[in-house]
Each structure stands twice: as C-alpha cells, then as structure tokens.
Amino acid sequence: MNSIKVFNQRVGYMIAAGAILLSAIVPALVSAATVTARSIELSSSSATATGVTYKVDFTTVEAAGAFVIDFCSDSPAVGQVCTAPTGFSVSSATTATSGFTRTVEDSNTLRVAGTMAATTPISVELDNITNPDDAGPLYARITTYVDDSTASTQYVDAETPGAYDDEGGFAISITDTVGVSGAVLESMTFCVADIAITEDCGNAADPQNAPVIKLGEPVPGTNVVALDAGHLSTGSIYTQISTNAVNGAIIRLKSGAACGGLKRIGVSTCDIAPALTSGITAGQAKFGVKTATATDTAGVTDATGTLQPVTASGYNNTTYALNYLANNSTGVTSPYGDPFLDTDDAPVNNKNMQLTFGASVSNDTPAGLYSADISMIATGKF
C-alpha cells in the first residue's frame, strides 16, 4: 500500500493512497451508439470500502428514460460474460440526484430511471456502494433505454441486455498501490513512492520504496525527530502518471481529517492547521504540501505531456499549501477532494513530480501524536 507516514514525538502518521479512476471504450456488440464524455469518480478506491459514492458521468447520443449499469470483474464489453466482483455490492445503493430513481436488479446491477435528452451531459451519484474485496480492475458497462418500463422488461442480465439504445464501457482500478489498466483501449498508470520512479511505475510496488516521510528535526541525545518552533521541517515523495485519456487526467488531494490539517489523537480539532494558500513559516503550527517542476522518467525517450499544479486551488512550487474550507463544500475535505495536479487536458506519458510536505509548530502547540489520512485520487477524462 502506498502510504505516507509522518511521525515524531509530536507528529504521527498520514497515509496517501495512490488511486486510479478511468473509463474505457469497447467494441459494440449490437448496433448501438456509444455514449461519450464518460467517467466514474469514486469517493474511495480502497478495497472493501463501504458507503462509497460512485459519480457516473456520460453524454447521451439518443434521448432516454433509463439506463442500466452492470459492474463486472472480467469485461466492460456489453453482452459478454459478467462475473460479479467478489464482495462488491450495490444492494443498498441509493441516489439523491434530482430527477433520478434507482432499482436494484442484483448485487452488481442497478437500473436508474430519469429523463435524459439527446446529446446531453448526464451526472448521477450512486451512494452506499461496497467496493470489491480485492485490489485490481473493476469494469462497468452501461446501456440506455427509451424508458424505465422498456428497461425493466428488456433487460434480463448483463449478458442479455435486450433492445437498448446507447452503450458504453468503463474501467476502474481498485488498488492500494499502483493500478495499471490493460485490456482496454484507454489506460492509466498512477503511483507514489519515496524514490524517483522508474518507467511505468516499475519500482513503486516494491515495499522497500513505500513513500515514508519523517517530518521533524533530530532531538539531541535521542534517535527520534520532532517538530519544533524553530524549523519548517520537510520531507518528499514522488508521483508518476501516464494516461492516453483524450482530455487528460486530474489528481485530487483528499484529507480524512475533517479539520483539514494534522489532528492530535483524541481530539477532533487540528492543532497543526492546514496551510490554506498562505504558506508556512517556522513557528507557525501549520501543515501543507509544495509541488515541483515535472520531469521525464529516466531512460524513457517518448515521455510526453504536462503534469502541473492546479494553481486555482492554491498549489504551486514555491508555497506550502493545503486548501480547506470549513463547511466541507470544497478543498481537501470535500467528497471528491481538492483539484491538486492535472495534465493540462491532454494525454501524458511517464511524467514524474516530486512533492514536498512541510510542517512546523508554535511554542504552545500541545504535545502529542498527530495524524491525517491523505489520498491522491487520479481520474481520467476520456
């Protein structure tokens, strides 16, 4: 599992999980159009996670009144064999998206009814889904129908979808470390490590290269490090992304600490606050991250594209930042995280970036163990 551990006499640990989200096109098995601009965003990509929200986006070709979405462990191709992923379940799924209602067909299939005009972007959030037990690829396939009654009578199962109008395929990687899509036209590789990453995330899965950071300064006479008011303590990790998504990819930064910074065990507030966009100086009890200039992977002659910070969120290569809003509507504690890095709306191949985390404390910062769970979630825009 890719993780970042931050620890010292005052600072505990935090975990950053590389996560991958992408979509896929597969050959149509019937005479049907393919929905475009499709993607699925997850509020968590961790195996066995419960209460997960899947945000399904696509643009219709023909007008429709319902769609069926199947989740499979073996193929995104409509009409092919669809094996229910072990542990995966939509049995308790709900939707709060206005104008749409859902019906559970079985543990890996939902029927969603709602008015959808032709050539119109559709976005539906499906809540309370349980992720598969195992890391690896998870596929989805969608078919649209003229109305809910037609969907109800025509759809038999994933291999017998009946007379549908439009279709589309998706691929999602459920992984604690590095996910690489394979048997689909679209692909994405995204990973995190504590050393410069080799081609196609080749060395990132090695446990010896897990992204571990020790923030703090050496304490004289001991073998530990601790944050102090006289220093801005820093530590670095590395990330790499490759994707052939037509519109590139975006990487979001999400914190599990509701207060946005580093919180002391036993309390809900952040005594080490998020840096926001104002940076950190020694003596301020703040925590944040700074980007760097993207580099090509060593030895890769065809490395292409751009990997850059999302400056609109306040991230850059000169200031430590951690974008946070107290009402949870945006920033690192929002449902899908804060836009952190992107590929400038274009494909990218073997682009690396060093990320430096920094923290300091004030003289009156309470002693204790501090922590936050931080995820980096990569989403392809196909």
Is 296 within a domain? Answer: yes
Q: Domains in the chain: how many in total?
A: 2
Is 3 within a domain? Answer: no
Same domain, 203 and 103: no
Same domain, 301 and 363: yes
3-state SS of the chain?
CCCCCCCCCCEEEEEEEEEEEEEECCCCCCCCEECEEEEEEECCCCCCCCCEEEEEEEECCCCEEEEEEEEECCCCCCCCCCCCCCCCECCCCECCCCCCEEEEEECCEEEEEEEECCCCEEEEEEEEEECCCCCEEEEEEEEEECCHHHHHHHCCECCECCCCCEEEEEEEEECCCCEECCCCCCCEEEEEECCCCCHHHCCCCCHHHCCCCCCCEECCCCCCEECCCCCCEEEEEEEEEEECCCCCEEEEEEECCCCCCEEECCCCCCCEEECECCCCCCCCCEEEEECCCCEECCCCCCCECCCEECHHHCCCCCCCEECECCCCCCECCCCCCEEEEECCCCCEEEEEEEEEEEEECCCCCCCCCEEEEEEEEEEECC
In this predicted structure, what is the pLDDT of residue 176? 55
Is 2 within a domain? Answer: no
In this predicted structure, what is the pLDDT of residue 136? 81
Same domain, 122 and 141: yes
CATH number at residue 77: 2.60.40.290
Same domain, 145 and 195: no
Is 194 within a domain? Answer: yes
Is 4 within a domain? Answer: no
Same domain, 171 and 196: no
Same domain, 193 and 115: no
Same domain, 303 and 326: yes
Same domain, 37 and 138: yes
**10-residue averages of pLDDT along the chain (382 residues):** 40 34 35 84 88 94 96 91 94 96 94 97 96 88 96 94 93 57 63 93 91 86 91 94 92 90 88 95 96 96 96 96 88 93 96 96 92 84 81
Pick from 129, 157, 180: which residue ends a domain? 180
Same domain, 244 and 335: yes
Same domain, 365 and 257: yes
Pick from 180, 203, 222: which residue ends a domain? 180
Domain that includes residue 30, residue range: 26-180
Averaged pLDDT of the chain? 86
In this predicted structure, what is the pLDDT of residue 175? 59
Pick from 145, 180, 215: which residue ends a domain? 180
Tokens read off for 283: 């003596």
Place of tokens 């703040």: 286
Is 6 within a domain? Answer: no
Same domain, 281 and 368: yes
Is 336 within a domain? Answer: yes
The model's pLDDT over 10-49, given as tens digits with 9 standing for 90+, comes to 433 333 333 333 333 333 334 578 999 888 989 888 888 8
Same domain, 131 and 193: no
Percent of the chain with pLDDT over 70: 89
